Structure 1
Amino acid sequence: MTGNEQKGIITRFFSHLILPVVKRNPYASRVFEFILDNPLYRGVLILGSGTAVAQLIGIISMLLITRLYTPSDLGVLAVYSSILGIVGTGATFRYEFAYALPKQDEDAANLFGLCLVLLIITTAGFALILLSGRELLIDAFGLDTLERYIWFLLIGFFGMGLYTILNYWAIRQRDYKRITYTKINQGAGGAVCKILLGIVSLGPVGLIIGHIVSQIVGIGTFARAMWRKERENLKAISLSGMKGVAKTYRSFPIFNLPASIVNTMSLQLPPLMLLALYDAQVVGFYALAHMVMVLPVSVISQSMGQAYVGEASKMVREESRELRMFYMRTFRHLSMIAVPLIGIPALCAPFVVPIIFGGAWVEAGWYCWPLALMVIPQFIFSPIGTLSLYGYNHWAFMWNVARVIGIIISFYLSFLLELSVITTIIIYAFVMLVMYIVGFIMNLKAIANFSSEITH
């Protein structure tokens, strides 16, 4: 999608809302023009508008979902999504992360073909593991609460993997409009499924099916668009071509895959750890608190992340010397909005959560205070923490390993000292805060090294 096309989309979409204000306010006019002229913020606005609608649907639907399901039901969903998030990370060996790098569309198409083949192979392998070692997995990790729903993991695994490889192709093409449409459809489809299945009292099954729907809706939209626009390039896919790109971008499975796995583990381990230390009800409270803190601001974070990757990868390919300036400018803008957007709702959460979601969820409100310590730096760092873009996959791996080790140690200390839930979450949040600061410093160093190599 070209810059002029993006401008046209924004102008048409927001004309009735923005133009009356722009005409009366010169400052608003300058802000609007700044967004239109800045590739990053054009992408953010397009992606953010759709993601905002999807997130709004999710927030509104939770008003009903928390009254149709118990905290334990939500805890089962949190455990399911955590396991799926961890195992799904390796579905394509992270080759989709390399989409942005090939200068030739034929090479990118072969990367897509490679990802599709790998997804089929890993899905078959995961099915064999579930078939032959299901009982062992359940006993080893204490997943008794998930035993009845274990086969839903296979459906979610393939669906999530297929959507991911198509979504990353759309990011390469900067097709932000289509990504926006799929986000809205995912939010609406998942919410409707959860509510309808909750009305008929399906319990955790309703939440899990709704979660799967919210991940796979949009696959057809992406696939049709890709075939229509990239038909000739897709015909260039061959076994030799896939072998070639697999070798060229082998650093992604070697370094980025392990880094992605441990990164996902650091984000998905808390529900599993809380289940082991306490029970499914506590996991449910934590899941709602985490949603309250993260969901409203993830619109900006996700949109900034996708747009930053799109623009920064272009700057890397062109060997631009303005990369550090772009990184710091994005960091400052995120920092300016993080504290009020996250801090104020966190302070009010203990008093507002039971009113909004029901008296059964009062404990979730108190979890929001310690979680704010983690969510604020996460909001700032996550969109721009892209060490792999600068060729430092091994740094990302070391950082993520250190983070996982810190999280495991924090929960292990809580186990040894028999600490309360709140204290456990405080320790976990502090570890995450420290690691995000370290990650920011590492990214600055990677960009400095990249700029130095360009100069020489």
Structure 2
Amino acid sequence: MSDKVSFMERFTPIKYGIVTWVISKICYFRDNTCERSIQNPAYKGFFSIVSSSVLGQLVVLLATPIVTRLYSPSDYGILSLYGVVVSVTLVFVTLKYELAIPLPKEDEKAINLMALCLLSVFGMSVISSLLIYYIGDSFFSGIQLSLLSPYIWLISLSVLGGGAYSVFNYWAIRDKCYSDIAKTRVNKSIYGSTGKITLGIFNISPLGLMLGEFLGQTTGCLTLLRSFLSRHRQKLSCVSWKMMLSVSREYYRFPLYSCPSVLFNTLAFQMPVLMLIRFYGPDIAGLYSLANSILVIPASLISAAVSQVYLGEIAQFLHKEPTRIKSYYHAVTRKLALISLPTISFIAILAPFCFPLIFGAVWKEAGFYSTVLSGTIIAQLIFSPTSILHYCGRNNWVLLFDISRTILIGGVFLLCAKMGYPPLTSLAAYSITMTLMYAVNYFMNLKAITGLARE
């Protein structure tokens, strides 16, 4: 007994020493993190956007079980088709010049880029609306675009509002006004969800879903517009036709390469909706839409915020410290992986059991869709926010990658449909294809960043 007491007496100082060391390290990490959060604008922006994203997505999550009981899977399918048309049209309305807004050192150039984008948004939205109205039904009859015929007017307004929002959002990134971006996330979620529920109660479907989306988008645009005018109203006098022409020539690579590459990128993401409506009908497309959105929500709370802050920091590194880009790229990618892997995997396992309980029995099959889609969602949330091929001057690489991915995805769905496979099998094949393409994109970014550091 005395030996045991003697041992405990000897071990006690060591034990207290270990505990003291651990506590000191925890306190150091806490204090160091808080200090960096206070002093570093990137940390401030990150936490500002994350907190608002959490609140905004919480609103969406709480509203979704109500919305799914007010609207049918077919209504969701028509909403998905509406989203396809709007997102594809939005690719052209700015000619992707908004991607260049954070790049110029001089505010005068950036202001003229923004003016060029807004002018393009107005003109192209009018042209695209006329094209959709006159030739849309005949050109896209194979994918049942006629389902949207009563809502052409809303598509036009959504394109106008969405294009303006994208322009002002990139200016907010340039200014590192992350709190303003944060406000738009909350406002979009609150007004969008409220609109869908209110119109659904009055049985205005599927128009209620589309009007809710439009209401949220418009609210976010007005928030960023007020923020811009409060800071830069006096600088609008520097806008001129000559300067707009000059910046359009200087950043010609964006409409030349980025515009078509973003088009194919958008088509790659929207291809499941188009193919599912074409081969399986709007009900299946609606089930896919819910499954995909529920998977994206949790991890995107962080990844979307990281993307906003990440692009702002990368733009600074390009001018001052290009050698730091590679380590920053690796660090952000690792953090996104640590967040996305456990979060999406957990949801994918529970989805088949929880979907009918939360969203209603009619949505049961969407839970199985979530499981097979989890692989591509994980890869998307890790590698998509960190891709900077545009900023590395590799716009042509992006174009080639997006064309290849779009063709592969379309081919996968077409082959599965021709062989008579059910929607679940088609989505599993799609998920595998997308995951492999994201791995290719990762190595393309590494090669581009390495070449940038050598220049």
Q: Report the TM-score when normalising by structure 1.
A: 0.92
* Structure 2 unaligned spans of 5+: 1-22
* Letter matched to residue 62 of structure 1: T
Q: CA deviation at 1:228?
A: 2.4
Q: CA deviation at 1:139?
A: 2.2
User: Corresponding residue for 1:189?
Assistant: 191
Residue 116 of structure 1: which of 101, 115, 118 is its match?
Answer: 118
In the alignment, does 2:306 pair up with 1:304?
Answer: yes
In 1, Cα distance between the equivalents of 2:338 and 2:227? Answer: 37
Question: Greater shift after overlay, 281-290 or 146-155?
Answer: 146-155
In the alignment, does 2:61 pair up with 1:59?
Answer: yes
Q: CA deviation at 1:65?
A: 0.2
Residue 416 of structure 2: which of 394, 414, 417 is its match?
Answer: 414
Question: Greater shift after overlay, 440-449 or 391-400?
Answer: 391-400
* Structure 1 unaligned spans of 5+: 1-21
Q: Secondary structure at the match of 2:449?
A: helix
Per-residue Cα deviation, 1:277-315 (whole angstroms, up to 9, x for no partner): 101111111011001100121111111111110001110
User: Corresponding residue for 1:88?
Assistant: 90
- Is the Cα contact below 8 Å between 2:369 and 2:424 reproduced in 1? yes
* Letter matched to residue 357 of structure 2: I
In 1, Cα distance between the equivalents of 2:431 and 2:266? Answer: 16
User: Corresponding residue for 1:222?
Assistant: 224
User: Corresponding residue for 1:283?
Assistant: 285
User: Corresponding residue for 2:236?
Assistant: 234
Question: Greater shift after overlay, 330-339 or 283-292?
Answer: 330-339
Q: CA deviation at 1:318?
A: 1.5
User: Corresponding residue for 2:350?
Assistant: 348
In 1, Cα distance between the equivalents of 2:432 and 2:167? Answer: 34
User: Corresponding residue for 1:17?
Assistant: none
In 2, Cα distance between the equivalents of 1:141 and 1:65? Answer: 26
* Letter matched to residue 144 of structure 2: G
* Map 1:71-150 → 2, pairs under 5 A: 71-150=73-152
- Is the Cα contact below 8 Å between 1:50 and 1:181 reproduced in 2? yes
Q: Secondary structure at the match of 2:105?
A: coil
* Map 1:371-450 → 2, pairs under 5 A: 371-450=373-452
Q: CA deviation at 1:141?
A: 3.3
> For the structure 1 residues 163 and 413, does the alpha-carbon distance in structure 2 shift closer, same or farther, using more than 3 Å as the test?
same
Per-residue Cα deviation, 1:250-298 (whole angstroms, up to 9, x for no partner): 0000011111111111111111110001011111110110011001211
User: Corresponding residue for 1:332?
Assistant: 334
* Letter matched to residue 88 of structure 1: L
- Is the Cα contact below 8 Å between 1:58 and 1:187 reproduced in 2? yes
User: Corresponding residue for 1:4?
Assistant: none
Q: Report the TM-score when normalising by structure 2.
A: 0.92
* Letter matched to residue 336 of structure 2: L
User: Corresponding residue for 1:6?
Assistant: none
* Letter matched to residue 324 of structure 2: E
User: Corresponding residue for 1:9?
Assistant: none
Q: CA deviation at 1:180?
A: 0.7
> For the structure 1 residues 160 and 170, does the alpha-carbon distance in structure 2 shift closer, same or farther, using more than 3 Å as the test?
same
In 2, Cα distance between the equivalents of 1:31 and 1:221? Answer: 31
User: Corresponding residue for 1:13?
Assistant: none
In 2, Cα distance between the equivalents of 1:37 and 1:230? Answer: 25
In 1, Cα distance between the equivalents of 2:57 and 2:34? Answer: 23
- Is the Cα contact below 8 Å between 1:39 and 1:311 reproduced in 2? no
Q: CA deviation at 1:132?
A: 2.2
Question: Greater shift after overlay, 383-392 or 218-227?
Answer: 218-227
* Letter matched to residue 228 of structure 2: M
- Is the Cα contact below 8 Å between 1:277 and 1:415 reproduced in 2? yes
* Letter matched to residue 112 of structure 1: M
Per-residue Cα deviation, 1:194-243 (whole angstroms, up to 9, x for no partner): 00000000110000100111211132222222222112321100000000
Per-residue Cα deviation, 1:394-430 (whole angstroms, up to 9, x for no partner): 1111111111011011011112101111110010001
In 2, Cα distance between the equivalents of 1:407 and 1:108? Answer: 36
User: Which has the greater radius of gyration?
Assistant: 2
Q: Secondary structure at the match of 1:84?
A: helix
Q: CA deviation at 1:140?
A: 4.5
Q: CA deviation at 1:37?
A: 4.8
Q: CA deviation at 1:31?
A: 3.8
User: Corresponding residue for 2:207?
Assistant: 205
Q: CA deviation at 1:333?
A: 1.2
- Is the Cα contact below 8 Å between 2:168 and 2:224 reproduced in 1? yes
* Map 1:25-64 → 2, pairs under 5 A: 26=27, 27-64=29-66
In 2, Cα distance between the equivalents of 1:233 and 1:69? Answer: 47
In 2, Cα distance between the equivalents of 1:416 and 1:119? Answer: 39
In 1, Cα distance between the equivalents of 2:315 and 2:192? Answer: 32
> For the structure 1 residues 56 and 404, does the alpha-carbon distance in structure 2 shift closer, same or farther, using more than 3 Å as the test?
same
* Letter matched to residue 162 of structure 2: M
- Is the Cα contact below 8 Å between 1:69 and 1:203 reproduced in 2? yes
Q: Percent identity?
A: 34
Q: How many residues align?
A: 432
In 2, Cα distance between the equivalents of 1:351 and 1:31? Answer: 39
In 1, Cα distance between the equivalents of 2:267 and 2:40? Answer: 35
